[in-house]
Amino acid sequence: MSKRQKRNLVRILISLILFIAAVVLPAEGITRLLAFLIPYALTGYDILYSALRNIIRGQVFDENFLMSLATVGAFAIGEYPEAVAVMLFYQVGELFQDVAVGKSRKSIASLMDIRPESALVLRDGSEMELSPEEVEVGDTIIVKPGGRVPLDGLIIEGNTTINASVLTGESLPYDSGPGDRVMSGTVNLSGVIKVKVTSEYENSTVARILELVESAASKKARAERFITRFARYYTPCVVITAVLLALIPPLFFSQSLGDWLNRALIFLVVSCPCALVISVPLSFFGGIGGASREGILIKGANYLEALSKTEIVVFDKTGTLTEGSFSVAAVHPEVGTRAQLLELAATAECYSNHPIACSIVEAQGALIDKSRVGEITELSGLGVRASIDDRLVQVGNSRLMEQVGVKWQNCDEPGTIVHIAMDDEYLGHIVISDSIKPDAETAISALRRLGVSKIVMLTGDARKVGEAVGARLKTDETHCELLPDKKVAEVERLLNEKSKRGTLVFVGDGVNDAPVLARADVGIAMGALGSEAAIEAADIVLTDDRPSKIARAILLSRRTVRIVRQNIVFALSVKAAVLILGAMGAANIWLAVFADVGVTVLAIINSMRTLKKSSS
């Protein structure tokens, strides 16, 4: 609890003691009035001051004006205890609100702990401590055990265990060594490591996360915007209705002025919109904070609300449902053994940086004798031609085989087929595939359980490869060999198919899918903390590569929206009931206090559930 909250609590407790004393001690006339005025002034001076200041500024109708009008009116008709009670309980509600908002902000602010204070930089053989903003790309930084990685980079020396839970929401640490990428904000748990910096601080993972979270509160959900507009027109309507309620029955129907004035005051107290104005934004704020702790960064409450209505989910394939890295899936020799065919292909590809070539070299594993290799020619879009042991080796696709006049064998396995020939003899082929992510099937099953009506996969890969992945994952539609503009066209078609209130979500890796991410109702970039395109184009950023987090994000959004609706229905129902009773003369000021402050406190407590982890 902050110092300000503690001061308010002390003020409320002192006012409560004075209020109880005024009720218990016998007093009449001016003495009784003063006995209640003291706790009233102590409790409500800030409310009265705010109301007066806003009136001077021309901003008359707000909750401070309503509370001041109701309590001053209660004093005017001699209802002293009720006037103090209304202000006292109102301040209790404000304290609850303050504490609740503080907890929500603390959930968001806990991310600020990942902001590095300094970096230990190795320059000219000596160590120096600099602020992360002063470190340049290419510098080498030293991260000791227990320290937080200050900048994105590649490990160039040392082995360690990295804890990335603050970024990804996963508590299980992982081992890292030379050549592995490390993200700023993660924690080095064991060994000393040297890291070569690959991005400036302003473009680092930690800076992007903080920027995302800090800007999220500015984008309001439709429910929030409705409540803001509602409160703007609602308050003056309430005041006018209360005035009419107090004056019309006595003036035109010879009713008691005191009785109807009391009913008007009850109407004012009940009508205060605190429960809605406070609890709705608080629920969305808490939902965004709770999601961020699980590695789901949502840019605003409007996207959180839209995600809850997900009807169609469209996936990119490479890097989203598949690993995005090539590996040798099968080796089919026509001549010799598998090992001989793989070794020959790897030798021919040993100087190439093409991903397919690298996967063949990696699969071969053993040290390649490059002295055997003579002239090498890379053939764009076809493959490679190399002289090995004075023999001409051709490694590439079927078009290369046809070009050199070698009869090649077809392969039904999904993947990229690399054919190998020596001189004019066909030796066999190697199948290169992009493996499906371990939890991709789980992710799609979870989306179906959530009631997503259609799951679609879009890919630029060959039809045979894409359809094999789609069949394995059981997508409803699979569209292959698509250029970026064709992907946008497919999304446009699906947008026309969905229902008016439904949401189309596109999930991609955020780099080459930026146009589609921007066109979808909600764009989700996966594992894209290092990608500027992902941060800019996507509405939601997942901090790791697990597609199963999409279902989790939808669950969190639906839970948040459900809590918002509960608060709206509960608050309006109770207030409507007490308003009717008050107009009929069957409710007193104490019931009005519950309908205002009590409902507000209960709504706030309900809103706080968005901060808690839940499986539903």
**DSSP H or E stretch at residue 378:** strand 373-379
* Residue 208 to residue 151: CA distance in whole angstroms: 12
Q: How far is CA 240 from CA 133, 235, 570, 589, in A?
A: 57, 9, 25, 19
Report the distance separating Cα 252 and Cα 574, nearest Å: 30
Sort residue 118 into left (φ over 0), alpha (ψ -120 to 50) or beta. Answer: beta
Q: Cα(first)–Cα(last) distance of the chain, in Å?
A: 30
User: Side chain identity at 307, as an amino acid letter?
Assistant: L
Provide the token pair at 568.
């709206």
SS3 readout for 550-610: HHHHHHHHHHHHHHHHHHHHHHHHHHHHHHHHHHCCCCCHHHHHHHHHHHHHHHHHHHHHH
Helix or strand run (H / E) with residue 455: strand 454-458
| Two structure tokens written together for 370 | 């490059």
- d(C-alpha 542, C-alpha 315), whole Å: 14
Give 405-413 contacts, CB < 8 A, sequence gap 24+: 409/332, 409/334, 411/332, 413/329, 413/330
Question: How many CB atoms are located within 10 Å of the residue 324 CB?
Answer: 18
147-to-50, 274, 504 alpha-carbon distances in Å: 47, 45, 41
Name 69's Cβ contacts closer than 8 Å, sequence gap at least 6. 51, 239, 242, 268
Q: Which amino acid is at 418?
A: V
User: Any catalytic annotation for residue 316?
Assistant: yes
Residues in the chain: 616
Among 62, 316, 509, 539, the active-site one is 316
Query: Rounded to an integer, what distance in angstroms lies between the CA atom of residue 121 and that of residue 392?
Result: 50
- Any residues with CB less than 8 A from the CB of 484 and at least 6 apart, and which? 512, 513, 515, 516
The amino acid that residue 173 corresponds to is P
Q: By three-state DSSP, how is residue 342 classified?
A: helix
The first and second tokens of residue 291, run together, are 């999601």
What angle (nearest 5°) sits at the alpha carbon of residue 220, between those of residues 218 and 224?
135
Catalytic residues: 316
